[in-house]
Structure 1
Amino acid sequence: MFIGFDYGTANCSVAVMEGNTPRLIPLEGDSCFIPSTLCAPTRESVSEYLYRFFGLTPSDKLGEQILRSAIANNREEGIELMHGDLVFGQAALDTYLDDPEEVYYVKSPKSFLGATGLRDIQIRFFEDLVCAMMSNIKQQAESHLQQDITQTVIGRPINFQGLGGDKANMQAEAILKNAALRAGFQDIAFQFEPVAAGLDYESQLTEDKTVLVVDIGGGTTDCSMIRMGPSYRDKTDRPDSLLSHCGCRVGGNDLDIALAFENLMPAFGKNSKSQRGIEMPVMQFWNPIAINNVAAQTDFYATSNLKVLDQLRRDAESPQLLQRLIEVHQQTLGYQIVRHAEEAKISLSEQPEFLSSIPLSASQIETHISSGQLAEAIETPASKIVELVQGALTQSQDKPDVIYMTGGSARSPILRALMERELPGVPIVAGDYFGSVTAGLARHAQRTFS
């Protein structure tokens, strides 16, 4: 049996075809979307849990070395894993929020797959993370369908996050493929996420159109200019209909981080000064919330940085603000801050103002954020999305009949207004913001494996 598999930065989902109609499968309770999160007792627990409770062995000698080291480290720490110690989705977030200091929590591992400078041992560990998530999703889907799933088309962005170009893309796709093979998929294909979204939209068309697909995902934004409609729908090979592809490493997470940096981090000391009038170092407020940057997170949460933060607090004009930043370090609260920014972004798509309330050990930090402040905060990442659209238009040397916007952040009226300004008079349509890519991947899987 085959599925379309959207392994997303923010959420994961899968779909099967029932006749000519895709159907998304519940993966967490009644929800067809499971947040791309994982929580374990320790970092090393992930590899050991895969072996003990999923029955999955490493793919090579380096993987075996990681597993042996993980088991030894867990025994040294007195950790005996139990079934259920590795949790996913909303359950993972809830576990992390309950006690952030005592668990290992990962959000959006897809963001790291194309990172440059990764050592082989890091790549294998990311493979374990992805394999664990894929295995859980595969098991949930098979339990619901009461069938084994052996074939899948996995969505991928035009360009993964990372600065390595084609090399980064090859690295990320290889991690996804190896993880999927270990999870039990036998036949694996990939499709660009905006093309998949376009395939789902195409099923509704009664006449041929040139469509600009703008897919604003959690970690990347992708644009594809595609000729589609009844004349193209049933073609297996249709390279002439794909006019252009462009992708950039900017997505919904970047909007959340930008909003958190500009509007939430001042409560932790950003823009404050020392007693001598010197501004606090900006990177100490960027690194904790740069949740898609391995190096930034490592630098901020390093034990040595705690001494730096404590010195900043002693020198600060407003030491109570820097004390809050120290608490962020001690309790690994960067993910929480970005989560509150995401909540504000979502709410501000429907209302003019939002009150953010971040709980700390001794207080609640309340911040009023307006839609105007949101627009100002995300101006830089939003401008990169506009540049991407311009690149797709230039590459295709064509003008679309319609713009099809999808992805969670495509709901933003700010981004929609930017599209209208860039292509005045071109109608903008939207389908299922979260499910169109998954549905299109299932349609492509039907053509690939039937």
Structure 2
Amino acid sequence: MKHDLPARACGIDFGTSNSTVGWLRPGQEPLIALEDDKITLPSVVFFNFEERRPVYGRLALHEYLEGYEGRLMRSLKSLLGSKLLKTETTVLGSAMPFKDILGLFLGQLKERAERLAGRPFEEVVLGRPVFFVDDDEKADQEAQDTLVEVAKKIGFKDVSFQYEPIAAAFDYERGIEREELVLIIDIGGGTSDFSLVRLAPERRQLDNRHSDILATGGVHVGGTDFDKQLSLASVMPLFGYGSRMKSAAFMPTSHHLNLATWHTINAVYAQKSQLALQSMRYDIVDTTGIDRLFKLIEQRAGHWLAMQVEESKIELTLAERRSLSLERIEPGLVAELSQTLLEEAIGPLLQRIESSVSRLLVDAGIRGEQIDTVFFTGGSSSVPALRNCITALLPNARQAEGNVFGSIGSGLAIEAKKRYG
């Protein structure tokens, strides 16, 4: 029978931090192991200068941290909808369009999935945030069109899309026993996306679920934004952020903002940036922080520092406090972090998320008390302050959560089987 055959198409969740590929097969879990036995491939490319080759995922991070000379690129999805996507960068000594770097990574997802499946994939359902770009329909459409172009260039012949939170809803629906009104909260690396969906066991097999999707919404705020604000609040002051100039003005912030943002870290290493910092040093009252910044730049430790901050954010979902050792930069240097500090740092971002969810409920004509379940997914959905601000809107909803990195990929695999057989 047709439903006992493996699906023709796969689903790809190209994430800001991690990516997955789902493929429905009888009797097996949907997600394909992409790196060793792990279902996620971190969305990272490292161009190894010594061996003149790109490496991906955990191996990319390992080679970078081991000190291989090269160029690390992460948060590639953040390029979609940005002006950078129409430009190029220098990689292994020659110019490469950012669009081609996206193609390298997506091609790697396709290649690994096909190798493990033992067959080619020509059709794909790609996940997409509700908004790649807030309040700009043209830029949002351009971002989706770019993904189509890249996907076809690497060999997919038919490319379609599903909203990421809708995909997560279909994954959650696999395990329910009665009808539920569910609010899907997907907090990814680059975006927060929400869907209000009516789910039921007897509706799983329906091809058209349009009437079950009551509302969708989202905002361009995600885990990398949390990391950035935590970095600026706790770590960057140790490197001169907020230093006073002799004129009593604050030191310009662009260098620290670049250093706290994954896809702009390399800008700090540019000669122009370093010369600007050196000329600025003479006008700073206390040079302790900027001198540490020079040490960090000399070691090209920006990505290392960003990883430490991200790890601290993850630990602060469970622990009240964390001491972050910066011994690599200076003996005895420590940044003290806490849940309270994280909550204060991301407070304005949480307000934007809360407003977006409130607006979605109004659009759907649904009161918060009517929601049966709030389903959390995405790598940053475990932040306590975020959960508190969402659950305060939904007093009767029970909390559920799926595989934080796998729900969307699984749901996209379900959608791919429905669309392509």
TM-score after normalising by structure 1: 0.84
- Residue 87 of structure 1, CA deviation: 0.3
Partner of 2:275: 307
Secondary structure of 1:205 counterpart: coil
Secondary structure of 1:256 counterpart: helix
Which stretch has the larger CA shift, 191-200 or 306-315? 306-315
Structure having the higher helix fraction is 1
Amino acid of the structure 1 residue aligned with 2:352: K
Identity %: 31
Amino acid of the structure 1 residue aligned with 2:258: N
- Aligned pair partner of 2:324 in 356, 360, 364: 356
Which stretch has the larger CA shift, 151-160 or 137-146? 137-146
- Aligned pair partner of 1:110 in 52, 68, 77: 77
Deviation per residue, 1:52-110 (Å, 9 max, x gap): xxxxxxxxxxxxxxxxxxxxxxxxxxx9x75xx2100111122223337x412210110
Amino acid of the structure 2 residue aligned with 1:251: G
> Is the aligned partner of 1:9 residue 2:16?
yes
> Is the aligned partner of 1:379 residue 2:329?
no
Secondary structure of 1:246 counterpart: strand
> Is the aligned partner of 1:326 residue 2:333?
no
Secondary structure of 2:340 counterpart: helix
- Residue 442 of structure 1, CA deviation: 0.4
- Distance (whole Å) between structure 1 residues aligned to residue 383 and residue 30 of structure 2: 26
Deviation per residue, 1:95-145 (Å, 9 max, x gap): 223337x412210110011114753768x8232112111222222222222
Amino acid of the structure 2 residue aligned with 1:3: C
> Is the aligned partner of 1:31 residue 2:38?
yes
- Residue 33 of structure 1, CA deviation: 0.7
Amino acid of the structure 2 residue aligned with 1:153: V
- Distance (whole Å) between structure 1 residues aligned to residue 108 and residue 86 of structure 2: 26
Deviation per residue, 1:359-413 (Å, 9 max, x gap): 5455463212111111111111111111111111111111422111111111122
Shift in alpha-carbon separation, 1:412–1:331, aligned structure 2, 3 A: same
- Residue 177 of structure 1, CA deviation: 1.6
Question: What stretches of structure 1 of length at least 5 have no aligned partner?
Answer: 43-78
- Distance (whole Å) between structure 1 residues aligned to residue 407 and residue 350 of structure 2: 22
Partner of 2:4: none
- Distance (whole Å) between structure 2 residues aligned to residue 38 and residue 128 of structure 1: 12
- Distance (whole Å) between structure 1 residues aligned to residue 216 and residue 137 of structure 2: 14
Answer whether contact 2:20 2:32 (CA < 8 A) is retained. Answer: yes
Shift in alpha-carbon separation, 1:407–1:163, aligned structure 2, 3 A: closer
- Residue 331 of structure 1, CA deviation: 4.5
> Is the aligned partner of 1:140 residue 2:112?
yes
Shift in alpha-carbon separation, 1:11–1:299, aligned structure 2, 3 A: closer
- Residue 147 of structure 1, CA deviation: 2.0
- Distance (whole Å) between structure 2 residues aligned to residue 337 and residue 117 of structure 1: 23
- Distance (whole Å) between structure 1 residues aligned to residue 320 and residue 259 of structure 2: 28
Shift in alpha-carbon separation, 1:234–1:391, aligned structure 2, 3 A: same
Question: What stretches of structure 2 of length at least 5 have no aligned partner?
Answer: 1-7, 90-95
Amino acid of the structure 1 residue aligned with 2:335: T
Answer whether contact 2:292 2:329 (CA < 8 A) is retained. Answer: no
- Distance (whole Å) between structure 1 residues aligned to residue 394 and residue 280 of structure 2: 48
Amino acid of the structure 1 residue aligned with 2:100: D
- Residue 2 of structure 1, CA deviation: 1.9
- Distance (whole Å) between structure 1 residues aligned to residue 153 and residue 352 of structure 2: 36
Which stretch has the larger CA shift, 176-185 or 262-271? 176-185
How many pairs are equivalent? Answer: 406
Partner of 1:65: none
- Distance (whole Å) between structure 2 residues aligned to residue 348 and residue 214 of structure 1: 20
- Residue 188 of structure 1, CA deviation: 1.8
- Aligned pair partner of 1:415 in 382, 386, 406: 386
- Distance (whole Å) between structure 1 residues aligned to residue 348 and residue 339 of structure 2: 16
- Distance (whole Å) between structure 2 residues aligned to residue 393 and residue 4 of structure 1: 29
